[in-house]
Amino acid sequence: MNIIVRAYLIELARKRFNQTVTYQKLSDDCKLGFNMHANPSDRLAIASILDTISRYEHSFERPLLSALVIRASDSREGDGFYTLAQELGFGEAKKLKKERIFEVSQIKKCISFWEDNENYNLFK
């Protein structure tokens, strides 16, 4: 698991504003060297990193940190986020994406969980 990306997302959740990040900014800030616009394999690589982190968080019954990562084009999570949610038992991917409730609730849960200093100190 990429601990730098995980730590970045945890700190992002603890901020008071701008608590989401685009895939490219995440790559840039964490010095991953990906180009989301020009290289499809980079998009797959960052998706894999986020998938691993969210599966890890879910295994400890914590919210999916990947909810904080959005596309620059439409400010929505990528399709992989919804596919993962389906695999983890949250519901059908297409329905979750269409309703636009799941991702908002996961963002709020991430913020609430990681703003709690006890959670932060125990699980960061």
Q: Enumerate the domain spans of the chain.
A: 3-123
* CA dihedral sign of residues 30, 1, 97, 12: negative
- pLDDT, position 100: 87
Res. 116: pLDDT tops 90:
yes
User: Is the pTM value of this prediction over 0.95?
Assistant: no
Contacts of 82 (CB under 8 A, 6+ apart): 93, 94, 96, 97, 102
Tokens of 45: 């690589």
Find the mean pLDDT for residues 23-48. Answer: 94
Q: Which residue has the tokens 């701008």?
A: 18
Tens of pLDDT along 36-73?
888 889 999 999 999 999 999 999 999 999 999 999 98
